[in-house]
Amino acid sequence: MNPLKRLGRRRASVLALLAVAGLVTPAAATAAPDTVRASTLGAQAAQSGRYFGTAVAAGRLGDGTYTGILDREFNSVTPENEMKWDTIERSRGSFNFGPGDQIANRAAARGQRLRGHTLVWHQQLPSWVSSIRDANTLRGVMNNHITQVMNHYKGKVYAWDVVNEAFADGGSGQTRSSVFRDVLGTGFIEEAFRSARSADPSAKLCYNDYNIENWSDAKTQGVYRMVRDFKARGVPIDCVGLQSHFGAGGPPAGFQTTLSNFAALGVDVQITELDIAQAPTAAYANTVRACMNVARCTGITVWGIRDSDSWRSGENPLLFDRNGNKKPAYQSTLTALGGSAATRRTGAPSPRSAAALPSSFRWSSSGALIAPKPDATHNIAGIKDPSVVYYNGKYHVFASTASSAGYNLVYLSFSDWSQAGSATHHYLDRTPIGAGYRAAPQVFYNTQQRLWYLVYQTGNASYSTNPDISNPSGWSAPRNFYSSMPDIIRQNIGNGYWVDMWVICDSANCYLFSSDDNGHLYRSQTTVGQFPNGFTNTVIAAQDSKYALFEASNVYKVQGSNQYLLLVEAIGSDGRRYFRSWTASSLAGSWSPLAASESNPFAKSSNVTFPAGTWTRDISHGEMIRAGYDQTLTIPACKLQYLYQGKDPNAGGDYNSLPWRLGLLTQTNSTC
């Protein structure tokens, strides 16, 4: 039979699911390929859903060694001084955002997160503020400062240090004397957090302090009591920053206990200003390990790049020496983050070029790892179109279930690929997502809205949201991105189908891609602030003949580079599915071929080996294993992995009844 007669048919089905006992035997899971190990701090932290950041000084951004390390190693930045009161509002009501903007815009352009530091602090505070004696005046000044600054950086700052260093050292466990405490009382902290929440409801709000790392210290206990009280009374607070300016001994013995005790109050914890006198390898490793061991420890920031950049430069407390070379503590930090301890050799490719993708690919495939699990009410022939994120120590996989009766969605999670075959399948037709035609899911976390999004096709482009990815019943009922099919699609779709909706955002805009099984890739856009509403300006982003640009497009940001990667599924001259690839320097840009032909494909049976046995000749609809899980869809540049659908090469018949299974490709020609 001509395989082209068996093309995708993903129409809404009016048939109810048939209650037929399952006859499909799950394929045996094979040994899982190694998990990705990254070679930079940020990429490695991202493997566990964390960030690794640094303090940045605007005045050093002209130094190429500095920015080279900054962009290679770090995926979060904190302005070291540029967002402090004495820079931003040196005189009353006159705001100077220039230096802060320089850092913020630079970070946004590179997909790095931004921590805002800091709104209310007794230091680096202009004397016009510290000399105020009238409570109403000071309250107005404080709230205005918070509101103006947070408004200016709305949507750009991931977390704000709303109040910094409000507690006293020593044994009191009380707040310290400052103009804020002395004029407004200790309630100034609560007032600052409430103003901050109303100024930018989507930024995380942190309390930040030093000497709160040792659990038994009175200061730690004082801050803990405050956070517990805030949570109990509903005062908005999302995180506690532990500065972690350590002596040569490193963190106190109970550091991890402190992190987990704060986290247990229902806040994230972050290490916000790490530096350690003389940078002993073990001290750095112990600090990082404590964070890695606490699920809600979401990231680590070191307070500067090279020793010469440090506010404690006499103590050489950082990860890079004065010449920008990695110090031994760099390796122990990377290893503690779970990364490879291998040092880059001199003369090896520079990190910048190493971050770029190669122009041809080779892969090794697992066997079929995930097969459908039909039950009494779900008669399923194939599991298809996977979307996957690694979050909180688990892979979370969403996929289509297919049968002659139509399509719906399924969710499963597991900690390791060797467990994938035994994971429970949660059918999403019994959730608010509902029954009926739902297919080809894509999952990501929207950091601004703090919500998971599941994007899928229903005949329109639809989505559901969920605050908790691990709760299948938490998804909202489907809503549509468009009121109806955009005109340009209607005009070009011919006899095709509107399928495979895909959302990706940069720092300014979100883009919605889709395919038509007729040679067109479409793209609409909206702003990050308006998302999920306002998708407009639908254009043809790429076109080719029907089978050369068929469906299942994926678009990703390549970590550590300014490259975006586009993959589109094609049908080869042998009738088998394969992927072509292109790159672009912006999401709205034009796509240049990377490995885009049948003879040099991105992934096809011809460039994949099957050590566990050739169970498929199709490399069909799938998704890359990402470096993170947010709306930027960032993938590592090295040792790519791709979760895809394949099937028994001898299977035929109705497309919807084909026995699709999921397998994992691991890149074997990575040069970095």
- Nearer to ligand XIL by Cβ, of 9 and 312: the residue is 312
CB of 489 to ligand XIL, least distance (A): 51
CB of 7 to ligand XIL, least distance (A): 59
Q: Which of 385, 404, 400 is nearest to 577 (CA)?
A: 385
CB of 118 to ligand XIL, least distance (A): 6
| Region class of 549: left (phi > 0), else alpha (psi between -120 and 50), else beta | beta
- Nearer to ligand XIL by Cβ, of 301 and 448: the residue is 301
- Nearer to ligand XIL by Cβ, of 86 and 648: the residue is 86
Question: How many other C-beta atoms lie within 10 A of the C-beta of residue 31?
Answer: 10
Does 89 participate in catalysis according to the annotation?
Answer: no
- Nearer to ligand XIL by Cβ, of 298 and 301: the residue is 301
Q: Which of 398, 417, 394, 418 is nearest to 408 (CA)?
A: 398
Please report which helix (H) or strand (E) contains residue 85, including its range.
helix 85-88
CB of 344 to ligand XIL, least distance (A): 29
Is 346 in a helix, a strand, or coil? Answer: coil
Q: Which residue of the set 73, 80, 89, 165 is catalytic?
A: 165
Q: Which residue of the set 73, 190, 191, 273 is catalytic?
A: 273
How far apart CA 418 and CA 471 sit, in angstroms, is 22
Contacts of residue 32, Cβ cutoff 8 Å, sequence gap at least 6: 366, 369, 416, 417, 418, 420, 664
Does 191 participate in catalysis according to the annotation?
Answer: no
The token duo for 321 is 């020496």
Question: How many other C-beta atoms lie within 10 A of the C-beta of residue 255?
Answer: 23
CB of 660 to ligand XIL, least distance (A): 53
- Nearer to ligand XIL by Cβ, of 301 and 462: the residue is 301
- Torsion angle, alpha carbons of 131, 133, 136, 137, to 10: -30
Residues 552, 602: contact at Cβ < 8 Å?
Answer: no
- Nearer to ligand XIL by Cβ, of 274 and 584: the residue is 274
> Cα–Cα distances in Å, from 405 out to 17, 359, 379, 430, 660?
5, 41, 8, 16, 15
Distance of CA 493 to the CA centre of its chain: 33
Binding site for ligand XIL (CB under 6 A): 80-81, 164, 243, 273, 311
In 90-172, the DSSP E strands lie at 113-120, 159-164
Q: Which of 601, 615, 609 is nearest to 571 (CA)?
A: 601
| Region class of 139: left (phi > 0), else alpha (psi between -120 and 50), else beta | alpha
CB of 241 to ligand XIL, least distance (A): 9
Q: Which residue is nearest to ligand XIL (CB)?
A: 311
- Nearer to ligand XIL by Cβ, of 177 and 470: the residue is 177
CB of 243 to ligand XIL, least distance (A): 6
Q: What is the CA radius of gyration of the chain?
A: 26
Which residues are designated catalytic?
165, 273
